[in-house]
Amino acid sequence: MSGGRIAQRFETLRADGRGGFVAYLTGGDPDIAVGASLVEALDRGGADIVELGVPFSDPLADGPTIQRGMERALASGTTLASVIALVREVRDRVATPIVLFSYANPILAYGRDRFVADAAAAGVDGLLVLDLPPEAMGDLHPSLLDAGIDPIFLISPTSSAARIEQAARLGRGFLYGISRLGVTGMRTSIATSAGELASRVRGITDMPLVLGFGVSTPEHVAEFHRHADAAVVGSALVDLVGRHAGDSQLPQRLESMVRWLRGEGPAPEGGDP
């Protein structure tokens, strides 16, 4: 592990003997003007890591809920530069590690060296490029390491032992485990493949493992904590943002939902935070 904010957070989680909570939002959803207040709401709610998705017009792994969030963000004029500026805006007020989720095209269009320099200056802690496996990172990988940004890689139930070892060896911060095949989205139950993947990872590396895809209730979060260092919730939070876009109470609703998902707050009335 690196010595940055992400590594320190997992060291704290392990010392405290508790599972972590990773919260995903699409940057600039529903618009960039409220972006800072939403990140701060995640922080107040107790998120251990915040993931900000970079809006992209042609996502591959994202299900319909996050796709709609990206469409809202793009319609409001959000760009990669906007998301980096959002991180810069909140960095002094939010101690929570912040990871950017992006596809390769926005970074290539922005310029690799410019992106790494600007992201590091803004206080970005980690980067996961969804369509760049480790062997395709090229010069971006050492550039991230030199800038103190953790490169993070995906693994799935179909990943071979060699792929998991490569992702752990080249990655920093944590491994992002996809608990099921398919795209992101809320589910009524979690996949049995989550535990099987976690068991395989534990036999290869002690790097922190977070599990995502399909997590939408406190029970799901608690179940994932049985297998991994942290659980990721994305679509459920993005869905809330979409349903309450324009509501002045959206940050408070988001904070309350994070507390509920973490098992430290009351259930939303009528199931609608």
Q: How many CB atoms lie within 10 A of CB 71?
A: 15
Q: How many CB atoms lie within 10 A of CB 166?
A: 17
Assess contact for 254 and 234: CB atoms under 8 A: no
DSSP string covering 240-254? HHHHTTT-TTHHHHH
Assess contact for 227 and 202: CB atoms under 8 A: no
Token code pair at residue 70: 């990206």
Question: Whole-angstrom Cα distance, residue 252 to residue 248?
Answer: 9
Q: How many CB atoms lie within 10 A of CB 136?
A: 11
Q: Which long-range contacts (CB under 8 A, 24 or more apart) does 5-9 make?
A: 5/95, 5/96, 5/97, 5/125, 6/49, 6/97, 6/99, 6/125, 6/126, 6/150, 6/172, 6/173, 6/174, 7/150, 7/172, 7/173, 9/48, 9/49, 9/96, 9/97
Catalytic annotation, pick one of 29, 51, 125, 150: 51
- Catalytic residue flag (residue 51): yes
- Catalytic residue flag (residue 62): yes
Catalytic annotation, pick one of 29, 40, 62, 150: 62
Assess contact for 154 and 130: CB atoms under 8 A: yes
Question: Whole-angstrom Cα distance, residue 66 to residue 185?
Answer: 8
| Residues annotated as part of the active site | 51, 62
